[in-house]
Amino acid sequence: MEYPLLLEPITLAGRTVRNRVVHASMSTRYTQNQDIDPRLVRYHANRAAGGTGLIVTEPLNVLPWHDRSHRPALFGPNTRDALARWADAVESRGCRLLGQFQDSGRGHREAGRSQQAWAPSALPDDLSWTMPREMPTHRIHEAIEYFGKGARRLEEAGFSGVELSAGHGHLFHQFLSPAANIRDDEYGGDVEGRTRLLRELIEVIT
């Protein structure tokens, strides 16, 4: 089967991508203690050198109340320079680099996760049976603010953009689903309420 447009350029959000070959987000586990490991940078640089048009990073650690040691952190004493090196290693090779924003919400199976799990509603995860805490409105607003700051930091570092991962049962998906979101405030209820978080995220990062 032929794909005549696969290697043709495409414009996304005003930016030209050299082809339609996309390296999707994938956890490498190269990161330790939330540092951006040189192995991770080399891995993506090699994908870019091989001709990939766009790379989406593994999920980034944006929210300060989650200590996810295997995820690269956006905020820390040395992250500005490390992010700039990461972006340059990819973008200088003609490939676009997007940072992925995602949070597992109630759905994660890691030691200690039950003490850190926040979700739209206090309903157990159907795989791990983690019982999360319901996010109060002020915590939702804090999360939106941090994601906005994270997007600006990526832009300053030279990244081409951000991907919001709103599938696979993670936090943004949980807000969308009436099976996981039974809130009775402005972030729950009807479709307008359940999509509010994502709409506000899009507004703050654009």
Residue 121 structural domain: 10-205
What does pLDDT average to over the chain? 93
For residue 110, tell me if it sits in a domain.
Answer: yes
Question: Considering the domain boundaries, does residue 92 fall inside one?
Answer: yes
Regions of the chain where pLDDT drops below 50: 112
| Alpha-carbon torsion (82, 29, 55, 168), positive or negative | negative
Q: What is the pTM of this model?
A: 0.92
Residue located via tokens 């570092």: 157
Assess if residue 97 is contained within a domain: yes
Residue pair 125/192 in contact by the 8 Å Cβ criterion: no
Q: Please check whether residue 123 lies inside any domain of the structure.
A: yes
